[in-house]
């Protein structure tokens, strides 16, 4: 799996006027560019501020708590794939399994009130799949 592509307002084709804006838009006006802009901005900010582990999980849930699965469905697949990859690389567990829909699994993280503690097998799967695990639980990563 390639590393997460970190977007910023200079290198992407999403709606620049929505950069940094929360989604407070009527459902009928919620468009793919608006949702993409919000998700990519949050990835950029989470990464810039080096959030990982429980802190990132808590912020992700707070940012997306009012979002329905349909909001994730509005985003382009590359964007939600990048979000999932970023979260997993940063110790927020998002289920990976054959046939699982990324958008549903992202929504499941938002809906689950409990932070998932990775098992040893899940940790190894992440390292084997991606080679990256930015977490205080990874002994090979220096704390930030």
Q: What is the mean pLDDT of the chain?
A: 80
Residue 143 counted as domain residue: no
Residue 55 counted as domain residue: yes
Q: How far is it, in rounded angstroms, from Cα 32 to Cα 38?
A: 10
Question: What percent of the chain is modeled with pLDDT above 70?
Answer: 74
Return the pLDDT at 16: 53
Number of residues in the chain: 144
- Mean of the pLDDT values across residues 25-48? 84
Residue 139 counted as domain residue: no
Report helix, strand or coil for 99: coil
Count of domains observed in the chain = 1
Instruction: Compute, in degrees rounded to 10, the torsion defined by CA atoms 28, 33, 35, 40.
Output: -170
Residue 119 counted as domain residue: yes
Task: Write out pLDDT tens, residues 13-34.
Answer: 445 555 555 556 667 778 888 8
Least confident of 23-37, 51-65, 128-142: 128-142
> Which residue range forms the structural domain that includes residue 30?
16-130
> What's the pTM?
0.78
For 19: left if phi > 0, alpha if psi spans -120 to 50, otherwise beta; the answer is beta
Return the pLDDT at 77: 92
Radius of gyration of the chain measured on its C-alpha atoms: 15
Task: Write out pLDDT tens, residues 79-101.
Answer: 999 999 999 999 999 998 877 79
Cα-flanking dihedrals φ and ψ of residue 94, to 5°? -125, 125
User: Which has more confidence, 25 or 44?
Assistant: 44
Q: Tokens 């990859």 correspond to what residue? A: 85
């Amino acid at each position: 799996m390639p590393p997460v592509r970190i977007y910023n307002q200079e290198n992407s084709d999403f709606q620049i006027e929505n950069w940094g804006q929360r989604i407070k838009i009527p459902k009928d006006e919620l468009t793919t560019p608006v949702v993409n802009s919000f998700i990519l901005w949050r990835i950029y900010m989470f990464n810039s501020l080096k959030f990982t582990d429980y802190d990132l999980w808590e912020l992700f849930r707070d940012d997306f708590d009012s979002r329905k699965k349909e909001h994730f469905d509005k985003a382009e697949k590359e964007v939600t794939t990048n979000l999932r990859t970023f979260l997993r690389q940063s110790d927020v567990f998002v289920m990976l399994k054959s046939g699982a829909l990324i958008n549903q699994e992202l929504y499941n993280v938002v809906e689950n009130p409990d932070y998932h503690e990775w098992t040893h097998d899940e940790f190894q799967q992440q390292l084997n799949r991606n080679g990256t695990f930015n977490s205080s639980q990874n002994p090979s990563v220096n704390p930030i």
